[in-house]
Each structure stands twice: as C-alpha cells, then as structure tokens.
C-alpha cells in the first residue's frame, strides 16, 4: 500500500464505521511552501482518549493489561507519514468527530505518490449514498472543490434512491475526474 | 459544479426508477465490499470499482456499498451479496471474476460455488472453508 489515496480510503472507512454523516477530505500540495497536507475529518462518534491512545499505538501496554491490537490502519498511516519526515496528527472528541492529518515536505524523496485519489473518492461517493463528502484539492496554482451536499439538496428526497443511477454516476464522474 | 444539469438528471433517473419499481420481478439485491485495512491491501478498492462498473453495464438493480472489515482477513478481498434474507459471501476476489459472479449470482440466481465462502451467517451456515 504505497499510494496516498489508499490511505485516504482507509481513513474514510474509519469515518464511515464511526457513523459519520459528512466526511471532508483535503489534499494540499504547496511547492512554494514545500508542504503536502492530507486531512480526513468527520462528524462521526469520535473516540475517547483511551481508545485513541490504543489506536495510534496498538501495542501499547499497561502492567495489568495484555497487548491488545485494535487495528493497524492508523499506525500504518502514522508510520508512512513519519517515514517521509512528516507529522501525523489526530484529534477526536466523543460525539463530535475526528480529524486525522498527515503533512510532509513536498520534495521528500520517500514521498508516496498520491495515486488515483479522484477515482477513489468517486467510488466512495457512489458507494455511500447516505453520506455527504466534501473534497478539496489545492496547489499553488489552482483549487478544486467537490461537495455532495448541494447535489443532495437539489435532488431532494429522491437523492438516495437515484444516487446509483447511471445518470448521476456519470455526473459525479464528470465533476470529479473529467473536469 | 454544474448543478443546473441535475434537474434533467433528476427527471430522467426518476423515470427509470419508477419503471423499475413497477416491475415486480426486480427484487432487492445488495452487495457489500469489505473495506478494512487488509481488504484495501489485497485490492478491495479495485473490486468495488469493478462491481460498480459491471452493475451499471449489466443494468442491474443492486445497491453497492462498503463496510469495515468482515474479519475474514485470510480470504480478502471479500464481498457479501444480500438477497432478501439471504447472504452469500465470496472471497479471494479478482476484478476479472466480477462479471461472471454478477451474471451467475444476480442475473441467473445461482451460487457461484467456486468462489463462494461458507461462513457463519451466510445461507450455507457451514464453517469457514479455509
Ligand atoms: N474516524 C474515527 N472515528 C471514530 N473512531 C475511530 C476513527 N478512526 C479510528 N477510530 C478508532 O480507532 C480504532 C483503530 O482504527 P484503525 O487503526 O483504523 O483500525 P481498525 O479500523 O481496523 O479498527 C478503530 O477501531 C476505532 O475505534
Ligand atoms: Mg481502520
């Protein structure tokens, strides 16, 4: 798994599992500031300090407790970011949501390729008709924003049932990839 | 975003959905792709993409969605196909087998036994075949 977009997919699945209603994804690639930042934020159920500690360092032990592994996604992402001289950050609040960010130098040699991020987001949008997504990709020259909320508003109560119609999928594809 | 195009799309799609709902032979199918970390490592993203493409090309009335890990790490990528109260799990999926899987299972209503995994909770209720 050496593509940023696969890590984004993994982080977004965490948000989906946490019952998020809206998931926001930002990718900033600023050559001028020598900085790449990827962020996934959700309004899901969040996690306690204790769960977060275990999630980030799954082999953390206390004297009374045996080693407990609760998942490898977050440690994996943290490791990737730190291996390219980057910074991993996570903030979470029970009942409010979670924000995960990785940032690393633009010109790092170990930097993973972004991969097919727009395709990945397209599948996420289509396969999750009940969840809203906002995706922002920005570099020194331009910015691209995709947001399902105005789409849902426009389609009204029929939004979910027509979400996977070929017409709407085609529109999503045009907005995310062809434009 | 070209939101003004959505009006026409809404009308077209609503038409199709109304027709489909009027056709009683079209029953409810759902496909869930396991998208935990290990699933992603073994290619679940491409499986989901392929399923979406083939469902569209075969014009099937199927909801395609994703979930966290099924806990079947040794046979990823995995998907579950739901039909009414039945659940059938398929593992070790490859994009090349998706069309055959959909044609056999959903178009023809037969279980594609060669890829099928019997897990607790699916209709076979046999122990995991690994
Ligand atoms: N966005 C999130 N919202 C709420 N809880 C989360 C989120 N991301 C991670 N967690 C918690 O951290 C745990 C570990 O996450 P992760 O390392 O991705 O492993 P896994 O997803 O396999 O459990 C999750 O099981 C969950 O309890
Ligand atoms: Mg995870």
Q: Residue A51 belongs to a domain with what CATH number? A: 3.30.565
* pLDDT confidence of residue A54: 87
What is the tens place of the pLDDT at every residue in A102-116? 999 998 777 889 999
Q: How many domains, chain B?
A: 1
Place of tokens 């992603």: B40
Task: Examine residue B130 and state whether it is found in any structural domain, yes or no.
Answer: no
Q: Is B65 in the pocket of ligand 1 (CB under 6 A)?
A: no
Q: How many domains, chain A?
A: 1
Res. A49: pLDDT tops 60: yes
Task: Examine residue B68 and state whether it is found in any structural domain, yes or no.
Answer: yes
Do B31 and B63 contact (CB within 8 A), yes or no? yes
In three-state form (DSSP H/G/I as H, E/B as E, the rest C), the secondary structure along B61-111 is CEEEEEECCCCCHHHCCCEEEEECCEEEEECCCCHHHHHHHHHHHHHCCCC
Task: Tell me which of A27-31, A60-64, A108-112, B19-23 is least confident.
Answer: A60-64
* pLDDT confidence of residue A72: 86
What is the span of the domain harbouring residue B52?
26-123
Q: How many interchain CB pairs under 8 A, A with B? A: 91
Task: Tell me which of A65-79, A104-118, A148-162 is least confident.
Answer: A65-79
Distance from C-alpha of B79 to C-alpha of B88, rounded to nearest angstrom: 8
What is the span of the domain harbouring residue A43?
4-178
Task: Examine residue B115 and state whether it is found in any structural domain, yes or no.
Answer: yes
List residues of B whose CB lies inside 8 A of any A CB.
1-3, 5-7, 9-10, 12-14, 16-17, 33, 35-37, 40-41, 45, 48-49, 52, 55-56, 63-68
Res. B50: pLDDT tops 50: yes
Task: Examine residue B69 and state whether it is found in any structural domain, yes or no.
Answer: yes
The strand order across the sheet containing A35-42 reads A87-93, A97-104, A35-42, A22-30, A132-139, A143-147
* pLDDT confidence of residue B126: 44
* pLDDT confidence of residue B91: 95
Q: Which two tokens stand for residue A128?
A: 């999750």
Instruction: Provide ipTM, 2 decimals.
Output: 0.92
Q: Which of A1, A127, A171 lies nearest to residue B52, judging by beta carbons? A: A127
- pLDDT grade for A17, boundaries at 50, 70 and 90: very high
* pLDDT confidence of residue B130: 40
* pLDDT confidence of residue B13: 85
A169-175's contacts with Cβ under 8 Å and 24+ in sequence apart are A169/A126, A169/B52, A169/B56, A171/B2, A171/B5, A171/B6, A171/B9, A172/A122, A172/A125, A172/A126, A173/A122, A174/B2, A175/A146, A175/B1, A175/B2
Task: Examine residue B42 and state whether it is found in any structural domain, yes or no.
Answer: yes
Chain A positions touching B41 (Cβ under 8 A) are 1
């Amino acid at each position: 798994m050496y593509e940023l977009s696969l890590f984004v997919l993994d982080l977004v699945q965490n948000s989906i599992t946490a019952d998020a209603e809206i998931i926001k994804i930002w990718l900033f690639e600023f050559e001028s500031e020598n900085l790449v930042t990827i962020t996934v934020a959700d309004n899901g159920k969040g996690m306690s300090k204790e769960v977060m500690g275990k999630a980030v360092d799954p082999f953390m032990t206390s004297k009374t407790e045996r080693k407990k592994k609760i998942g490898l996604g977050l440690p994996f992402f943290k490791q990737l970011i730190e291996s390219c001289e980057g910074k991993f950050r996570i903030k979470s609040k029970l009942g409010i949501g979670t924000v995960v960010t990785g940032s690393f130098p633009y010109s790092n040699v170990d930097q993973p390729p972004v991969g097919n991020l727009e395709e990945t987001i397209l599948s996420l949008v289509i396969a999750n008709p009940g969840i809203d997504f906002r995706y922002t990709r920005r570099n020194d020259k331009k910015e691209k924003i995709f947001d399902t909320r105005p789409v849902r508003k426009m389609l009204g109560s029929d939004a979910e049932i027509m979400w996977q119609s070929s017409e709407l999928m085609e529109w999503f594809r045009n907005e995310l990839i062809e434009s | 975003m070209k939101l003004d195009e959505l009006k026409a799309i809404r009308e077209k799609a609503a038409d199709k959905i109304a027709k489909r709902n009027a056709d009683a032979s079209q029953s409810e199918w759902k496909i869930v792709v396991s998208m935990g970390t290990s699933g992603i490592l073994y290619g679940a993203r491409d499986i989901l993409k392929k399923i979406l493409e083939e469902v569209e090309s075969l014009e099937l009335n199927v909801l395609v969605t994703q979930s966290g890990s099924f806990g079947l790490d040794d046979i990823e990528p995995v998907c579950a196909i739901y039909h009414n109260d039945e659940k059938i799990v398929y593992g070790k999926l490859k994009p090349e087998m998706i069309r055959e899987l959909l044609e056999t299972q959903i178009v023809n209503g037969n279980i594609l036994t060669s890829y099928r995994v019997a897990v607790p909770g699916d209709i076979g209720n046999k122990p995991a075949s690994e």
